[in-house]
A and B are shown apart, each in its own frame.
Chain A
Amino acid sequence: MATNFEPKIVGFLCRWCSYAGADLAGTNRMKYPSNISSIRVNCSGRIDSTLVLKALALGADGVLIAGCHPGDCHYTNGNIKTLRRFKVLQKMLDQFGIERERVRLEWISAAEGDLYAQVVRNMTEQIRSLGPLNWKQKVEVMA
């Protein structure tokens, strides 16, 4: 395995909790790896499974979906819808042969900057040890 492998992680962060949490991590100058590219979405419930699959198919090594804690959703139950999708998606990703560590769902509130930093650190290290996903190249090899 290449030692200089840097995981590419796409983060879908809900605007009301997790993105604010990520902001807090930044303003508090907490250190976490720059491997995550975060995308602000209005609600984690907006994350269609297609977007996760697209990220993986186009070259991401991992995807983080982060939303408000259950009960705290700005839109009442968007995060519960995400949880439902996530459970089915996990089952389907198992079939595709994608390790569970690569796609994670976390509840991170606006006050939990430290949790955000810790999740990103932890996820980056886990994916680093798994190695690159390289989905597109793998599909080409299997033609």
Chain B
Amino acid sequence: MTKQKLAFNWASSCGGCEIAIFELGTKLVELSQKIDIVFWPAIMDYKYEDLEALPDGSIDIAFMNGAIQTSENEHVAKLLRAKSKMLVAFGACACMGGIPALANTTTRDEIFANSYSETPTTVNPEKTRPQTSVHIKEGELTIPEFYNTVKTLDQVVDVDYYVPGCPPVGEQVSKVLTLLVEGPLPPKGAVLGASDRSLCYECKRVRNERKIGKIVRTYQTIPDTQKCLLEQGIICMGPATRGGCSAVCLDANMPCRGCYGPLPRAIDQGGKMLSALSSIFDAQSEDEIQKITDGLVDPIGTFYRFSMARSLMRRTMK
């Protein structure tokens, strides 16, 4: 049996998805009977030239994590797509933009101003900003363009499968890898390694009547470990988020932040969560409702923490 050729690559990401693959441990060794890794810059010294040198369509399965925030990310995504028979968007960033896509609530100019001028440790009186091309004595120097709007992987190339999560939990990664290597393959566009029902179905906490009189932020309280967090006034994205992670955050007494993305038929995770949350406000009059709403500090950052680039609005306008 010929071994399947696998590639792993990253774009705008933190590296956590690479760790999720390492979490497979001995499973990866077992699989090595069936797979060959031909490109994985996170663990070995691969260069883009190595990828370019491969014939088109020669990689069987390619995993790409991270959002598309620079022209380099986009270039590599297109390159990997051309070289691969199957491309998997791996992790919340590749699927939905993830944390990097919160940059869509601001602009490139604001990000540059903050990073290159406003931070207290920065001294930059000439207001120098990164340029995509600079001419110096020795010739021209170029760096990739930084985009105003962060994109998902499927907004720049065709994607075959999606594996959500920040990062996808190890157990699920193992199942997905086995499925893709051994088959039978699911239909194109399927979301793998996640459940089709909301996280609440996996959550072990006790639910009574969901009513919120006041929104509480996690740093303001130590929540009861048995009761539903929403009932305690803590915004938990569970109702609007796919399960599949076994509610690991809830076990650590932290609310779900929504990294597994929207449920199968929901087109916008944030809109769904907004509706779910405000419906349980324990308030009848306009004033009471306004008072609870005032306790919600950052609606976009809360409801679209991982899905901004895949949301209906995609970004904010100033």
Contact = CB atoms under 8 A, between A and B. Distances in A.
| Chains A and B are bound partners | yes
B307 interface: no
A41 interface: no
Given A97-B316, A142-B315, A49 B275 contact: yes
B76 interface: no
Q: Which of A52, A88, A89, A139 gathers most chain B CB within 10 Å?
A: A88
A50 B312 contact: yes
Interface in A89-134: 89, 91-92, 95-98
A29 interface: no
Given A85-B274, A97-B318, A143-B147, 5 more contacts: A50-B267, A53-B271, A54-B268, A56-B312, A142-B315
3 A-B pairs closest in CB distance: A50-B271, A97-B317, A92-B299
A74 interface: no
Given A50-B266, A56-B313, A91 B275 contact: no
B284 interface: yes
Interface in B270-297: 270-272, 274-275, 277-279, 281, 283-284, 286, 289-290, 293, 296
Given A48-B271, A53-B271, A54-B268, A88 B313 contact: no
B317 A138 contact: yes
B232 interface: no
Range of interface residues on A (Cβ < 8 Å): 20 to 34
Given A49-B274, A143-B148, A95 B312 contact: no
Nearest to B291: A87
B303 interface: yes
A48 B317 contact: no
Given A53-B312, A96-B300, A139-B315, A88 B277 contact: yes
A85 B278 contact: yes
A45 B318 CA distance: 30
B271 A96 contact: no
A107 to B, nearest CB: 11
A80 interface: yes
Contacts, number: 93
Contacts of B266: 50
A96 B317 contact: yes
A82 to B, nearest CB: 9
Given A96-B313, A97-B318, A138-B317, A88 B271 contact: no
A81 interface: yes
Given A83-B286, A92-B300, A135-B313, A143 B275 contact: no
A57 interface: yes
A139 B148 CA distance: 10
Contacts of B275: 48-50, 85
7 contacts: A48-B275, A52-B271, A53-B313, A81-B279, A84-B289, A139-B314, A142-B149
A89 B313 contact: no
Nearest to A92: B299
B300 A143 contact: no
A142 B279 contact: no
B107 A142 contact: yes
B195 interface: no
B74 to A, nearest CB: 11
Contacts of B303: 92
A91 B316 CA distance: 13
A88 B299 contact: yes
B279 A84 contact: yes
Contacts of A88: 274, 277-278, 293, 296, 299
A81 B211 CA distance: 12
B100 to A, nearest CB: 15
A92 B271 CA distance: 10
B9 interface: no
A59 to B, nearest CB: 12
